[in-house]
A and B are shown apart, each in its own frame.
Chain A
Amino acid sequence: MEMEPNFADTNPKAGVVGQPLSRVDGRAKVTGAAKYSAEYNQLPGLVHAVLKTSDVARGRITGFDVSAARQVPGVLAIITHENIPKLAKTPNNPQDQQAMGPGAHMGFLPLTSDQVHYAAQPVAIVVADTLERAQHAAALLRVQISPETPVASFRDPKAEEFKPKEGRAAQLPKPRGNAQAAFAGAPIQLTATYEHAINHHNPMEPGATTAHWEAPDRLTVYDATQGIVWTQQALSVMLGLSADQVRVVNKFLGGGFGCKGSVWPHTVLAAQAARAMGRPVKLVLTRPQQFTGMGHREDQDQTLRLGATSEGKLLALLHEKTSTTSPWDAYAETNSKIVDLLYACPAFEATAKLAKANVMTSTFMRAPGEAPGSFAIESLMDDLAYRVGVDPLQIRLLNYADRDPSTGKPWSSKSLKECYARGAELFGWAKRNPKNGQMRQGKLLVGYGMASGTYPVHSGQGNARVRLYADGHAVVQAAATDLGTGTYTVITQTAADALGLAPENIRFELGDSQLPSTIVSGGSMAAGTVSSSVYLAAQDVWQKLTKVAVMDKKSPLFGAKPTDIEANGGRLQLKANPAKGEGFAEIMKRAMMTDLEGSATGRYGAGYESAQAALNAKQDAAGGKDDAAGHSMHSFGAHFCEVHVDPDLGTVRVKRWVSVIGGGRILNPKTARSQIMGGAIMGIGAALMEGTVRDPHLARYTNASLADYHVCVNADIPEMTVEFVDEKDPYINAMGVKGIGEISIVGTSAAVANAIYHATGRRLRSLPITPDKMLEALRQPA
């Protein structure tokens, strides 16, 4: 334990952690050398698989007409539920799904029966020697399906709502106080319903798997996944292999945003096809297939009731959500969590309702729950501010939660007040006209809006290995993925400081299940978990080297007590007398060691009574009784924006943006800034343009393309200012890293909607706020 000092104390800012290092994988990305999952073309005998999908959303497959498809030259196989090799286990069986671990999100695997549960469900795999031939044959393959009337969503009159007893939708925060009574007795009562469209992650790289059976009992999959280990676990169970017989590789991932966090049908089907063919198979989802292949953020309504004093102090919050889930799942984002804990409020209650429909299951999408939940609470807090006549920023300070309202625990750190203050300053919030609809630029209505966000520090743990070479290089390994989040870079920086090496002398390897296993790169957990493990693995190296040094008669440290020695800048030295010591190379060379390897399990977050975090905490709290588990761990942030609304055309454009984030230690301000901007841009998209439309009768998407599902383009994005509050959190982990992938989006759509309210006096509660809705709102009296 003595060798696990608080990083913040032993490695002050002089190191490369905290420096704006350019991405270490950047050169590979700007030269086209970075290899993604569909780019392993050298595999011997590689063939192409294409999914044939169902036209209808519900029914039974009665047969296949392969006569035309089989005539296509180069077609090698047409695999259907009738001839596909059987799996050892399928996720269709709940017990088996459990065994597959957290990555087996889908509870239904296509091609296991004649059942069609959703539109564009895979019903066959066509394999051919070239992609074009496989695609053509798939087009010619005729699938006979006896259709049944589908349910399209929870809004469908045929849908049956129910209160989930299990699954993520049932994971609601505990009620506190008597919310119903507190609301009924509140001087101010606000009730509003918020509608959120279906959103799709749409990473630029679609789902892709290249499956290669190197032997009958040894599979390698190059898979576009955020979760190397989860994919390994789920695949091995399904295929009847042990985990070590399945190798999952992902060196470069073309975005994920949550949809690559689970194991989806195409990955399993690619492995099955490769097994059937006896040769490597490449399977890439088409963009339309991406919309039904890897989940989405579900269509949902939230009704929020807010009771407050006439001064605007919260008395009660009641949250109710209704959303669509798939025939086999009970998934819903938990929106109510953020409603529960963003503000001090004595009474709270949440309910969730689901309706099963004939849709692919929804899944985590960047800040699942917090993103749409913040839209509700932060819109309604804005209403409250206007209602009681105080500034929107003031209403938030008035209800500031100094402790976690949900658990009563103190925060491990919280810099939201600083975020508000700095954000307001950067944005020029003081120039805001307190009245709605007063600011103009030509024909355009100008509005300022702001909103807060928070995202939990989930708990995670993972392993890492550090191999320090006497020649001054090091190889660092963990089976994480880099979705574009900067994992390659920030972990290189972490290792550089922990080992006292320049970052160019570190090679961080990730994305391979043969490396030390670690948590899925999701839930904003990767930076916190992996940095912690790598830091501790480096400490393991120093501990081992210390043992060598103190027994080496030629070392200045000979005979010293190991606990009196510290590692600093690649040197081992006496704590009491830093001049007495020497560099690692000297020690290793004398001991005839070419290298030394250390490994560690790093922990992160409130779910663990991490010895590391507890130790750090004790150092800070002096009393020695303080520990990590007694704290509520969250990142916080505030977003400010200016919008221009064209009152005649209904168009809304964001013209300025400021985000200030308290996210613990920022390992790299350059990549972190990019990540925050990226989340805000996705939030602007959700606010103004993103929405997948399902035909209300046929339960099939009508805009499953990047031309018709709009994500922001460059011209939508103004100058953006991002800052981080300097925040030291001793409880999170060895590094004090909270993770920032998701806090970036939380509150963003509310900030836009609040700015629209300020510009127009119209409260828009249905996302996305497209011109039709804006015009309709402007037709109504303010």
Chain B
Amino acid sequence: MQEDLFPASDAPQPADDSRRTFMKQAGGIFGFALAAPLAGQAERLTAYSKTTTGVTTLTLRINGQPRTVQAEPRVTLLDALRERLDLTGTKKGCDHGQCGACTVLVDGQRVNSCLTLAITTQGKEITTIEGLAQGEALHPMQEAFLKHDGFQCGYCTPGQIMSGVACVKEGHATTDDQAREWMSGNLCRCGAYANILAAVREVATQQAKG
């Protein structure tokens, strides 16, 4: 009876070899058989353009480095970063474009990585929170967040900072009210808004002075 609730023993297997090895060792109390490697990687050439089905190798340029991920077309940039590349600085707050925690820059523009398919970002320059600092030297926006206490729990912070960097670059932080409006795509439940504003405005003012 319980067996019925589990996939049949000929179900496909995870692609990752290390996982398979572990599973052989670990087994699990249900001990169902291990799956075969993922099928369907074919990149079918149609009369038109390349069609991608199933898991393929995607090459993403992240923080100046080419990175490859094994992913289906449905994998979002956010889940590619967090679950496959261990770039967990980019956060998942809602997964529906309603909070901004997943904000990254794609070709310099801020976007919600939760509503961006990884496959569509190939050939583009992706910048995440991990790519802002130059070695030990923090980006001015990161410094400003520290100085002004622009966060509490820190979970919205990477998104706020990425958004803040873009906001200044776009020229949308020239007044307090303008910066408030253009930083409103990033929710902060701890309520660090006034401090976030101070940080963004300070960087904008610094950059205006050159």
Taking the complex as a whole, does A directly touch B, i.e. does some CB pair lie under 8 Å apart?
yes
In the complex, per-residue mask of A63-105: 1 if CB is within 8 Å of any chain B CB, else 0: 0101000110111111110110100000000000000000000
B7 within 8 A of A: yes
B88 within 8 A of A: yes
For A717, what are the chain B residues with a Cβ–Cβ distance below 8 Å? Answer: 180, 191, 193-194, 197
A174 within 8 A of B: no
Residue of A nearest to B22 (CB): A45
Q: Interface residue tally of chain A, by bracket?
A: 35 or more
B14 touches A74 (CB 8 A): yes
A78 touches B189 (CB 8 A): no
Complex: how many Å from CA A541 to CA B170? Answer: 55
A719 touches B194 (CB 8 A): yes
A83 touches B2 (CB 8 A): yes
In the complex, per-residue mask of B1-28: 1 if CB is within 8 Å of any chain A CB, else 0: 1101111100111101011001100111
A716 to chain B, nearest CB (A): 8
From 670 to 714 in chain A, residues with beta carbon under 8 angstroms from any chain B beta carbon are 670-671, 673-675, 677-682, 705-707, 711-714
Complex: how many Å from CA A203 to CA B27? Answer: 36
B191 touches A682 (CB 8 A): yes
User: Which has the most chain A C-beta neighbours within 10 Å: B6, B87, B180?
Assistant: B6
For B89, what are the chain A residues with a Cβ–Cβ distance below 8 Å? Answer: 31-33
Complex: how many Å from CA A106 to CA B1? Answer: 30
Complex: how many Å from CA A276 to CA B32? Answer: 11
B92 CB contact (under 8 Å) in A80, A257, A284? A284
A439 within 8 A of B: no
Complex: how many Å from CA A596 to CA B129? Answer: 40
A30 within 8 A of B: yes
For A30, what are the chain B residues with a Cβ–Cβ distance below 8 Å? Answer: 129, 138, 142, 145-146, 151, 154, 157-158, 161
For A715, what are the chain B residues with a Cβ–Cβ distance below 8 Å? Answer: 177, 180-181, 183-184
B16 touches A27 (CB 8 A): no
From 127 to 150 in chain B, residues with beta carbon under 8 angstroms from any chain A beta carbon are 128-130, 132-133, 138, 142, 145-147, 149
A255 touches B155 (CB 8 A): yes
Residue of B nearest to A713 (CB): B184
Complex: how many Å from CA A671 to CA B146? Answer: 11
B115 within 8 A of A: no
B98 touches A287 (CB 8 A): yes
A204 touches B149 (CB 8 A): no
B154 CB contact (under 8 Å) in A252, A284, A670? A252
For A78, what are the chain B residues with a Cβ–Cβ distance below 8 Å? Answer: 5-7
Known: A678-B190, A719-B194. Is A276-B11 also a contact (CB below 8 A)? no
A41 touches B189 (CB 8 A): no
A29 within 8 A of B: yes
**Interface size, chain B (Cβ < 8 Å):** 84
For B195, what are the chain A residues with a Cβ–Cβ distance below 8 Å? Answer: 674, 677
A26 within 8 A of B: yes
Of B43-51, B72-80, B202-210, the one with at least 4 CB within 8 A of chain A: B72-80
User: Which has the most chain A C-beta neighbours within 10 Å: B38, B91, B193?
Assistant: B193
Known: A31-B142, A712-B191. Is A206-B29 also a contact (CB below 8 A)? no
For B74, what are the chain A residues with a Cβ–Cβ distance below 8 Å? Answer: 132
B42 within 8 A of A: no
In the complex, per-residue mask of A274-292: 1 if CB is within 8 Å of any chain B CB, else 0: 0111110000101100000
Complex: how many Å from CA A677 to CA B197? Answer: 13
Complex: how many Å from CA A296 to CA B105? Answer: 34
From 143 to 200 in chain B, residues with beta carbon under 8 angstroms from any chain A beta carbon are 145-147, 149, 151-158, 161, 177, 179-181, 183-197
- Further contacts, 13 of them, CB under 8 A, given A45-B23, A484-B154: A74-B13, A79-B5, A130-B14, A202-B189, A254-B154, A286-B95, A287-B96, A670-B149, A713-B184, A713-B193, A715-B181, A717-B191, A717-B193
A-side interface residues toward B, CB under 8 Å? 22-23, 25-36, 38-39, 41-42, 44-45, 47-48, 64, 66, 70-71, 73-80, 82-83, 85, 129-132, 201-206, 252-257, 275-279, 284, 286-287, 483-486, 670-671, 673-675, 677-682, 705-707, 711-717, 719-720
User: Can you pick out 24 interface pairs between chain A and chain B where the beta carbons lie within 8 Å of each other?
Assistant: A26-B151, A30-B151, A31-B130, A32-B87, A32-B90, A34-B154, A42-B86, A45-B23, A77-B32, A78-B5, A130-B83, A204-B101, A252-B153, A254-B154, A278-B26, A278-B28, A279-B26, A483-B152, A484-B151, A674-B152, A677-B191, A680-B191, A705-B94, A714-B184
B-side interface residues toward A, CB under 8 Å? 1-2, 4-8, 11-14, 16, 18-19, 22-23, 26-30, 32, 35, 38-39, 72, 74-75, 79, 82-83, 86-96, 98-99, 101, 128-130, 132-133, 138, 142, 145-147, 149, 151-158, 161, 177, 179-181, 183-197
Task: Enumerate the 9 nearest inter-chain pairs by beta-carbon distance, A residue then B residue, closest first.
Answer: A32-B89, A484-B153, A254-B155, A278-B28, A484-B152, A29-B154, A681-B191, A678-B191, A45-B22
